Amino acid sequence: MAILCAKCGNNPAAEALVFCGKCLKENLPEAEPIYRAAHRKSRRPLPEEPPAGSGVACRGCANYCRLGEGERGFCGLRQNRHGRLVHLAGTPRRGLAVWYHDPLPTNCVASWVCPAGSSSGYPQYSYSPAEETGYYNLAVFLGGCSYDCLFCQNRDYHRLATKLQPLATAEELAAAVTPQTACICFFGGDPSPQMPFALKSARLALQAAGKRILRICWETNGNISPRHLKTLAELSLATGGCVKFDLKAYDEGLHRSLTGVTNKHTLANFASLAGYFARRPDPPFLVASTLLIPGYVDSHEVGAIARFIAGLNPDIPYALLAFYPRHLMADLPFLSREEAERCLEAALAAGLRRVTIGNVHLLK
């Protein structure tokens, strides 16, 4: 059961954070030791925050870790061994991943606008003028993440990153594609620490598919090394796939409290990819989503995110996702329908033209 904020006494707060989102933003120096302790608990045995010493530099994602001797990176997939950066997973040769075939249409955050779940993209990028019933998404769950969300909905990534198992080759992953596979979605965890592995797997799968429709999609926090952005974008553009950015929060202090990491790189990457949107508006190349967290990510935060998106292109689709209590924020309540509707109104008032509420079955 949620407690009330220790500062204002009005809004729900997770016990691990003590303060609600509004009070976190207004009292960051006071809140910092509290949220850092929460991330320390969440991260064990991996580093509490991206290492920033004077050791070996890693450019695997936008955290830009600097690893001391023997230290592992924030994602857990790199290590400094005798002054040399060792890639434990996420290289073109091998990745930390599991996968499965998910019948289409799935509950993907983009299903309302993508070729798998709508009329969008037919016939160039879709097998059906409606839902692609009878086809499958190859869902690739990547171990490791460049964030540490205290509300994480897919915590298994941490177990994989800690144990560094199971490992697979790009060839093994590509071989899982069948004639009924209409799309591949890389998610997790997050693709950001393992982009070389994911990109090679995607290329091999496309090569084997020939001229058959096979969309390449990404579901990411967006904290990706900019050197991979163009390649990622071109693969999705050419195949009818989409890039789905989960924009956790707009306020940097709140974002760091909730995820342990700045959102500066994510916002910059989103702005960069928005420049590709006009090249293929149907099906939409770029889709944004935000998890609506009671007491933390509210209509004010959604309004700020929506203004940012609308300033880039008001036609970028935006999905607002109902919260499910998990991980260190499992004591929060489910989201109310009234709050979800307030968030929807805030996004539309900010100028966005395509907004939806997802996971409506979770609303109370």
> Structural domains in the chain?
94-362 (3.20.20.70)
Give the integer Cα–Cα distance in Å for 220 and 327.
Answer: 19
* Cα 278 to chain centroid, rounded: 23
Residue 111: is its pLDDT beyond 90?
yes
Asked whether the beta carbons of 49 and 74 are under 8 A apart, the reply is: yes
Kindly state the greatest CA–CA separation across the chain: 60
Give the integer Cα–Cα distance in Å for 30 and 19.
Answer: 10
Locus of tokens 């599991």: 98
pTM of the model: 0.96
Instruction: Quick: pLDDT tens for 155-205.
Output: 999 999 999 999 999 999 999 999 999 999 999 999 999 999 999 999 999
Element (H, E) at 79: strand 78-81
Residue 54: is its pLDDT beyond 90?
no
* DSSP code, position 153: S
Give the integer Cα–Cα distance in Å for 51 and 260.
Answer: 12
Locus of tokens 């965890």: 189
Instruction: Quick: pLDDT tens for 6-23.
Output: 999 999 999 999 999 999
Locus of tokens 């935060």: 301
* Tokens describing residue 191: 């693709």
